[in-house]
Amino acid sequence: MADLTWTNTWLAILAVISLIQFLIVCAAGLFAYRMYQKAMTTIETVERVHIAPLRARVDGMLDQVQLMTDKVRHAQESVSDALRHVTGTGSAVAGAVKSKTWPIVGIFQGLKSVAASVMGNGRDDHQERSDRTYGAM
């Protein structure tokens, strides 16, 4: 049979290298886990120290904005209701005045027409005819 010492030597070298690789991977995993813990601690600290107070202030401002929006909405509804009421009252008053005064307006228009007829008495039309008639002779 052939001598297996070189084969055994190479197999021993491969086993040692595999063990070293395994230890390196384990060490990398351990370092990665420790870095993850440090990063999470830092993120939690930043959140607790900076973000939480900022969020509390922003939430307070948003609550105030909501209150102001509700007040403005209520005021707008009140003004709209008042304007509707005033518009309805104005229309009712205008209708009442119109219904009471239309006979008087009709009488004044009739008197105006009568006065125009009496004052004019048809003279302009009569004079134009007489001028034409006498002028033609």
Residue 33 placed within a domain: yes
Stretch 41-49: mean pLDDT, rounded?
A: 95
Least confident of 39-53, 77-91, 109-123: 109-123
**Residue among 16, 8, 124 nearest 24 (CA):** 16
Q: How many domains does the chain have?
A: 1
Alpha carbon of residue 131 to chain centroid: 78
Is residue 44 a part of any domain in this protein? yes
Residue-wise DSSP of 31-72: HHHHHHHHHHHHHHHHIIIIIHHHHHHHHHHHHHHHHHHHHH
pTM of the model: 0.43
Alpha-carbon torsion 111, 113, 114, 120, what sign? positive
Domain residue limits at 71: 5-96
In this predicted structure, the answer to whether residue 123 has a pLDDT above a threshold of 70 is no
